[in-house]
Amino acid sequence: MDQVLSADWVVQEDQTIDLSYANRVINTYDEQGLETMLRLKDADPNCSTIAMTLGTKETESMLTKALALQVEKAIRIDGETAISQPPQAVARILCAGIKKIGEVDLVLCGRQASGSENGQTGLILAELLGWPCISLVTEVLKRDDRLVILHQVDEGIEEVVMGGPVVLTMTQSADHFLRMATLRDMMDAKKKSIIHWRLEDLKELQSVKEAAGASLSRIFTIEERKKCVMVEDAEEFADRMIEEMRRVSKSEGVGL
């Protein structure tokens, strides 16, 4: 989203915003999920790794990136991911995809996408699978046959020790960036094939049309721009800043 200039957030007549010129990249929360999966694989080479996405042909570049990072299998479920699509429908499709894969113990997904920002898909997916869900996860380790999960709660960071299956929604954390692929791995990944499933291939798919959800009726932007007073002189700026701090802290009864 940082690639898009403020002036380009214009809602068109068809209730869309043209972002076609921006590069498609894996969003940061999904990157956290991908890196976590690779770290679990580093620690236990016996576990198998799969990257799955719902999208059109254009999303395959992201799966190729996952393959370059040594993810063993990449699956694309063919479908539209319009911003108006409710997360309930997306979760139903992903749920059917996971059931088609078969034996899955752990599903990692980003807390929210950058476009629709629903922040619901992983949570709904867990409910549909009938699995527990741990949200806003920052780190996952494997200890014996159990997972040690650190995640954000209202009171701080909680450690959960549990067995699978479980859905985890990932959030940002310090020093937890997606690793880089080597040039050779990137070239090799282009030769690897991506598994392609159509919605008709998903036997356990519940009706997507009947998925309960809110319908997006309008997109709008709010122009909020203040007239900022820029201070040229460093000394004057420091004085004005301290004056403001003094004014507010005085009202709080703190001396400055």
Partner 1 sequence: MTIGVVGERRDGKLTRESCEAICRAVQLKKQLAMSVELVLMEPKGVFDSPWIDRWGADRVVVYDLADSERWNMERKLSILEKYVQETKPAVLLFAGSIQGQEFAPRLATRIGASGLVDCVTVSADSKSKGLSVTKPIYGGNAYGEYCVMTPCFLALRARQIKLEEKGEVAIPVEWREAVKAQGCDSIVSRRLQSAAGHDLEDKKILFVCGRGIGNKENLERIKGIAEISSAGVAGTKKAIENGWLPLEVLVGQTGKILAPELCIVLGASGATPFVHGIAGAEKIIAINKDEDARIFEVSDLGRSDDCEQVIAAIERKLEEIL
Report the C-alpha gap between 51 and 64 in whole angstroms. 10
By CB under 8 A, is residue 22 in contact with partner 1?
no
Which residues from 227-246 bind partner 1, rule CB under 8 A? 228-231, 234-235, 237-242, 244-246
By CB under 8 A, is residue 219 in contact with partner 1?
yes
Encoded one letter per residue, x for contact with partner 1 by CB under 8 A and - for no contact, window 87-116 reads xx--x-------------------xx-xxx
Sign of CA dihedral 202, 204, 207, 212: negative
* Contact with partner 1 (CB under 8 A) among 47, 172, 185, 192: 172
Which residues from 130-169 bind partner 1, rule CB under 8 A? 130, 132-133, 135-136, 138, 146, 150, 152-166
Identity of the residue, 75 or 178, whose beta carbon is nearer to partner 1 in the bound complex: 178
Cβ atoms within 10 Å, residue 196: 13
What minimum distance in Å lies between the beta carbon of 76 and partner 1?
A: 23
What minimum distance in Å lies between the beta carbon of 63 and partner 1?
A: 23
By CB under 8 A, is residue 216 in contact with partner 1?
yes
Residues ≥6 apart with Cβ < 8 Å to 28: 110, 172
State residue 231 phi and psi, 5-degree precision. Answer: -100, 120
Is-contact 51 73, C-beta < 8 A? Answer: yes
Report the C-alpha gap between 69 and 118 in whole angstroms. 28
